Structure 1
Amino acid sequence: MRRIRVWAIFLLAFKLLYVNCSTTCPLACLCHTLNGKKQVRCEAGGTTLSQKFISNSDRDIAVLFISGSKDNLNTFNLSTAIFQSTSFEEVHLSFSSLNYLPDSIFSPVSNTLRVLNLSSNNFQDIQKEVFLGLSRLTHLHLDGNILTSLTLSAFSYLSSLKVLTLSSNLISDVIQENAPLDNLEFLDLSFNLIGDPVGPQSTLSQIFFTNMPMLTVLNLTSNNVRSLPWEALDRHNRQLSELYLGYNKLQTIQPYQLSVLHSLKRVSLRGNPLRFISDEAFRGLHLDFLDLSGLPASVLDADLFVGARIKELDVSNMKLHAFRQETFRPIAANLQALNVSENRGLRVHSGMFRQFTSLKRLFMTHMPTSTLPPILGDNHNVIEELHLSHNGLVHLPDGLFPSLPNLRRLNLSHNRLQRVPHLAELKEIREIDLSGNRLAFLSEETIKAFSQSTSLLRSLKLTENPWDCDCKRVAPLRRWVSLGFDSFGRETVCMDAEGKINCPVCSLPASLRGTPINNISADALSSCDSDL
């Protein structure tokens, strides 16, 4: 009876294996079921998609995903009837020299197709007849082609379209026409040439935004836009909540341009040659995130933030020399994250962030300061993340960590620290990065605290330090990382972002130079007092 039961289990396992690895799966592709949908994924490149490929595949495949790389392109031989007798819900065809699609090619899957990804091909233009019948399509991706113009009427058949991405093309000509995209929520036109002075259209016109009433995200990053039709955005796009205008040619933000877009939650103006932002430019806005990185310091007028509420603010790389309290006072009580990195001339002084009583995350990196004064003042109990990498720090105040009871993430990488005092007092800490410093050892007190089962620490990066593997100094650390994964020591200290083991390496003594700490033999430390 047991033998019959074993054979039954074997046959069931074989049947399941057959379902997931169909004999009709194309060569060099992976066929499996995910979330109840059968998929064919060919991601290595060099795949030829033809009528034969489709005919040899299962009829009930929901997702067709063919990708590759610039060095290993695919070949797509797409006839008018290639999708006959299929029921694809998603079609992803990327990385090929494909530059033409027959009219109505997707009509056979018009009742099922929801996602169409044609990114990283060679399209210069696409006619609207290609999309004939795709009234149920919700996502269209045309990124990474060589499209030179944008004609909204090309998408007029896509009445259910919610997401349209056209990033990284060569679009400079935006045809001024009125085409209904009544359900469009997400439009990505980043990394194009819109607004190029040599192009036929210097900016986006009012008519462009007329029929996008549901638009919530507009990404125009890295174009040459000098202005926007603010009145049209106010009139027709009342749902707009995310506006990304970084790295364009904007020179001014006038009164009642941004502030009338009352649904805005995330705004990026980074990297523009802005000479002027009007007083109270953000009045009435309750922003989750505002990015002013790379703008000239002169735009931070004393009344800039009057009437606004902002949770996260990026003022990095603005060539700030002084941190004027009056400028930030209107938003100080509600600010939860602040980035002042890369302001190399900024004078760091005691209490400079004292007024930010709700601050949870502080980024202050790439700033040449060798010491760290008590920058938080008395308002330190809510800080959860502190990022201080690439600063040249050689000393930390003894009272820094005991005053941060809720700290969860600490980044002190790439400084010049020889010791980090009182780490063991960080009871809520989850992640610590001390890589790229001048640490020769970690105190036994610290290792003992973090190796306890009650410790919340999950990542402690210690690489790129000159570790002294003298037995008394390295023994506690070596014991921790050698206990295996039951104690999480090796996982905590040595596992990198890719899941590979990369332990700290000895610098001294010469006999152990270049040896990962976890590879030090017990015999080499036999004279240590610690019991390994």
Structure 2
Amino acid sequence: MSRGEIIVLILSLLFEASLNQPCERETDCPTENQEVFSSSTTEIPSLLRPGVTEVFFLSSQIETIPKGAFVKNPQLEKLELLSTTTTSIEPGAFEGLVDLKHIEISSTPLTWIPVGVFKDLSNLEKIILKFNKLRSLEKGLFDGLDKLTELQLHGNDIGSIEDGTFDGLENLLVLHLAKNNLSAVSTHWFSNLNKLQTLRLYDNQLTSVPEDIFQNLPNLKEIALHGNKIAELSPNLFPHKEKLNKLLLENNLLTGLPEGFFVGFPQLKTLTLQKNKLTSLPPALFGEMPKLTDLSLSQNSLSTIPKGVFSPLKKLKKLDLSKNQFVKVYAEYFEGPEKLVDLNLQNNKIKSLDADLFEKLQSVVTLRLAHNDLHTLPEDIFEPLLKLKKLYLSDNPWRCDCNLIPLHLWIKANSDKIVSAAVCEYPEHLKGQNIKSLTEDQFICPHPSPHTTAFPTTEPTTIVTTTTPILTTPTTTFTNHHSPH
């Protein structure tokens, strides 16, 4: 094959590969009914080509959406302005778009939207106004949109919302208010949204949540409150628990939780509590949650937990207790979730483990014990873990003496399971050595065995031993500088 033929072949293969490349975004491969305008566009064209029902403006230099901008294109069903330079929308900008179902204006410098701009868009089903600079929402802004099912307002600078702003949205299913500057929420905002399924308020500045905020929201499936500054939750915060399947509370300032707070959630699949300030848990915190498989209490300040606190969580597969203050953990902690597959105890201050700690956790596949204060482990502690495949032991101050021989032998026999290596901290001459790489005779106890007795001798540092037990201090050594008593 000639060089020219090879080049032609390579080019044809590259062209074919480009044809098979999937479109990452909808606008990368527009269809016949779609039209895309890019950064060279400075104003909205008055007339689109026939058949276009969806129009996209990407990084266009459109500063103002004028009144009647789309009156000659009443057939539009989808309109998106993404990363444009838009700073204002005139009243009546979208008049005539009676078939519009989807509108998005995102990642613009827009600070305000006039009341009435969505007037007569009675077929709208989705409004996305994310990552703009909106500062407030006024009552009347969304009036007449009784078919709207999704409203996304996250990533703005919204600090205030007038009561009644969402009142007419009787069919709304998703309300996304995350990543704004809300320091408080009003129960009145949501009082008419009884079909709402998803409410996202995460990454705001909330310090508290009204007790009756969810009173009129019986169909909620997701509540996202994470990333706020909430220090306390009312015991009666969730009057409607039957349908809730996702509850996100992590990264707040919670120091405690009410007794029985998580009782009565039959559909709950996701519950997040990590990155709070929890110092203790009530004895009866959880009820039966047959759908909950993953629970994280990581990055709190727990040093102890009530024995059996997880006992109702029979289906739990993953439990994360890392980055707390545990010095000791007990087998009773894990009564109930005996089907655990992943147990994370990393980054605590655990000094020792009881020999029976894992007796009921025979399903554990991944066990994380790294970054603790473990010096040694009981013999056969891992024997109940018949399904163990991944064990993390690094960053513990392992004392490599004769007491560690059982662990050394187990590590050598199960080296394929060790994910992060255990290395010696003591004695000094073995510091930094991988436990697995040592030989058994390197694990020496610092003192003679119980059957070894030292007798006085005239030679300095010379020790004479006998196997006969003597009721004197076993390790006493005398030199020619002292006389025996």
> Smaller-chain TM-score range?
0.5 to 0.7
Distance 1:53 1:187 in 2: 41
Which residue does 1:306 correspond to in 2? 192
Which residue does 2:466 correspond to in 1? none
1:266-321 Cα shifts (integer Å, max 9, x gaps): 22334434434233633342322212343445551546523543112223455445
Shift of 1:377: 7.0
Shift of 1:334: 2.0
Which residue does 2:201 correspond to in 1? 315
Contact 2:139 2:165 survives alignment (8 Å): no
SS in 2 for 1:239: coil
Q: Report the AA paired with residue 56 of structure 2.
A: L
Which residue does 2:92 correspond to in 1? 206
Report which of the two has the higher share of helix: 1
Shift of 1:227: 0.9
Distance 2:75 2:9 in 1: 34
Matched, 1:173 2:63: yes
Which residue does 2:389 correspond to in 1? 490
The correspondence for 1:136, drawn from 3, 24, 32, is 32
1:323-379 Cα shifts (integer Å, max 9, x gaps): 333443222x22222233344254334333345554332222222233222363754
Which residue does 2:126 correspond to in 1? 241
Matched, 1:266 2:150: yes
- Indicate how the Cα distance of structure 1 residues 286 and 504 shifts in structure 2: closer, same or farther if over 3 A, else same: farther
Which residue does 1:194 correspond to in 2? 86
Which residue does 1:397 correspond to in 2? 282
Shift of 1:388: 0.9
SS in 2 for 1:56: helix
Gaps of 5+ in 2: 368-381, 405-410, 412-417, 423-434, 444-485
Distance 1:137 1:89 in 2: 22
SS in 1 for 2:112: coil
SS in 1 for 2:89: coil
Distance 1:307 1:359 in 2: 16
Q: Report the AA paired with residue 315 of structure 2.
A: E
Distance 1:24 1:210 in 2: 58
Distance 2:333 2:166 in 1: 49
Contact 2:109 2:132 survives alignment (8 Å): yes
The correspondence for 1:464, drawn from 341, 347, 350, is 347
State which drifts further: 157-166 or 350-359: 157-166
Identity of aligned residues (%): 14
Structure 2 length normalisation: TM-score?
0.62
Distance 1:404 1:151 in 2: 55
- Indicate how the Cα distance of structure 1 residues 235 and 117 shifts in structure 2: closer, same or farther if over 3 A, else same: same
Which residue does 1:407 correspond to in 2? 292
Which residue does 2:104 correspond to in 1? 218
Q: Report the AA paired with residue 389 of structure 1.
A: Q
Which residue does 1:507 correspond to in 2? 396
Contact 2:262 2:285 survives alignment (8 Å): no
1:400-452 Cα shifts (integer Å, max 9, x gaps): 2355454233221211223455346422224433332234566556779767x
Between the two proteins, the alignment pairs up a number of residues equal to 386
State which drifts further: 264-273 or 156-165: 156-165
Contact 1:204 1:229 survives alignment (8 Å): no
1:212-249 Cα shifts (integer Å, max 9, x gaps): 83442524255324114645x34246133243345422
Distance 1:236 1:416 in 2: 51
SS in 2 for 1:287: coil
Which residue does 1:384 correspond to in 2? 269
The correspondence of residues 344-423 of structure 1 with structure 2, limited to 5 A, is 344=229, 346-354=231-239, 356-374=241-259, 376=261, 379-420=264-305, 421-422=307-308, 423=310
Contact 2:219 2:243 survives alignment (8 Å): yes
- Indicate how the Cα distance of structure 1 residues 346 and 164 shifts in structure 2: closer, same or farther if over 3 A, else same: same
Computing the radius of gyration from Cα coordinates, the structure with the larger value is: 2
Which residue does 1:123 correspond to in 2? none
Shift of 1:399: 1.9
Distance 2:202 2:26 in 1: 38
- Indicate how the Cα distance of structure 1 residues 267 and 446 shifts in structure 2: closer, same or farther if over 3 A, else same: same
Shift of 1:487: 6.7
SS in 2 for 1:362: strand
1:79-113 Cα shifts (integer Å, max 9, x gaps): xxxxxxxxx47687x9xxxxxxxxxxxxxxxxxxx
SS in 2 for 1:267: strand
State which drifts further: 289-298 or 259-268: 289-298
SS in 1 for 2:396: strand
- Indicate how the Cα distance of structure 1 residues 449 and 375 shifts in structure 2: closer, same or farther if over 3 A, else same: closer
SS in 1 for 2:45: helix
Distance 2:109 2:342 in 1: 39
Contact 2:330 2:357 survives alignment (8 Å): no
Gaps of 5+ in 1: 1-22, 27-51, 65-87, 95-113, 119-133, 196-201, 495-502, 527-532
- Indicate how the Cα distance of structure 1 residues 225 and 382 shifts in structure 2: closer, same or farther if over 3 A, else same: same
The correspondence of residues 32-43 of structure 1 with structure 2, limited to 5 A, is none
Q: Report the AA paired with residue 109 of structure 2.
A: N
Structure 1 length normalisation: TM-score?
0.57
Distance 1:400 1:24 in 2: 74
Distance 1:439 1:361 in 2: 28
